[in-house]
Structure 1
Amino acid sequence: MTNPAHYLLTYEYSADYLQRRDEFRAAHLKLAWEAVERGEILLAGAVGEPIDQALLVFTIDGPAIAEAFARNDPYVTNGLVTAWKVQKWHTVVGELASTPVR
């Protein structure tokens, strides 16, 4: 039995992301938690020391939902994200792998 596909949404943050995020964080988190409640986002969070990226792991059938999330995210629409991309993640190991291989 296979699980739904996984997609990674990768954000590249602006140099002033940490200084500017407070203004948009509540709206960003609301959007993200709504996606969790719909079963679309599995995990999400910032990456790096110092933080310069974010990864959002989606469990969805195709890239459209992750792309729409990015286009509507206040971090993107207000310039805190300088670049983003959605890629299919071909998971093969783990309980939640979409195509387990042993």
Structure 2
Amino acid sequence: MKTFVLTYVYITDDWRRLNVRDRHVHYLRRLTDTGSLLVAGRLADGQPPGAILVLLAESWDDARVVIEADPFVTEGIVAAWTLVEWLPALGLLAPGFDTEASQPGDVDRNKTDERAASPE
């Protein structure tokens, strides 16, 4: 599975967005249940209306199919979206990854250094 970051830019019509929100949230919960959605959330107040979602999919085209089925997209709430493949390397969403260790030819940094582990 590949990881994708999706950004939504919403229309500014709050009333329309609120009328579709429950279907959108229900759809996102189904994606979460199937393991396709890692995290999603709207942008904070004071920024243009929108959201960021992190998806898992086999390909960019598969992720696009997921996006195009979102009620916010089908109902015209999303004015624009962008999708990029993302290679998480550090942090809570990327346990076990290390940018240094992920380079070709690097050593396995998950192995214990016996010198550091043995008491003096």
TM-score range, shorter chain: 0.7 to 0.9
Higher strand share: 1
C-alpha separation in 1, matches of 2:40 and 2:20: 16
TM-score (norm. length: structure 1): 0.81
Q: How big is the shift at 1:12?
A: 0.6
Q: Find 2:67's aligned residue among 42, 66, 70.
A: 70
TM-score (norm 2): 0.70
| Partner of residue 88, structure 2 | 91
Change (3 A) 1:23 1:82: same
1:33 corresponds to 2:29: yes
Point out the structure with max Rg over C-alpha.
2
* Letter in structure 1 aligned against 2:93: L
Extract unaligned runs of 5+ from structure 1.
none
Query: Given the alignment, which residue of 9, 13, 16 partners 1:12?
Result: 9
Gaps of 5+ in 2: 101-120
**Per-residue deviation, 1:46:** 0.4
Identity %: 30
What secondary structure sits across from 2:31 in the alignment?
helix
CA RMSD between the two structures: 2.0
Q: Give CA-to-partner distance per residue, 1:48-84, whole Å, 9 cap, x none.
A: 3145110111123322332112211111122211001
Aligned pairs, how many?
A: 98
Change (3 A) 1:80 1:10: same
Residue equivalent to 1:82: 79
Alpha-carbon distance in structure 2 between the residues aligned to 1:58 and 1:39: 9
Give the 3-state SS of the residue equivalent to 1:101 in structure 2. Answer: coil
2:105 aligned partner: none
Q: Distance in 2 between matches of 1:73 and 1:45?
A: 14
Larger relative contact order (CA 8 Å, sep ≥ 6): 1
2-structure distance, mates of 1:69, 1:39: 12
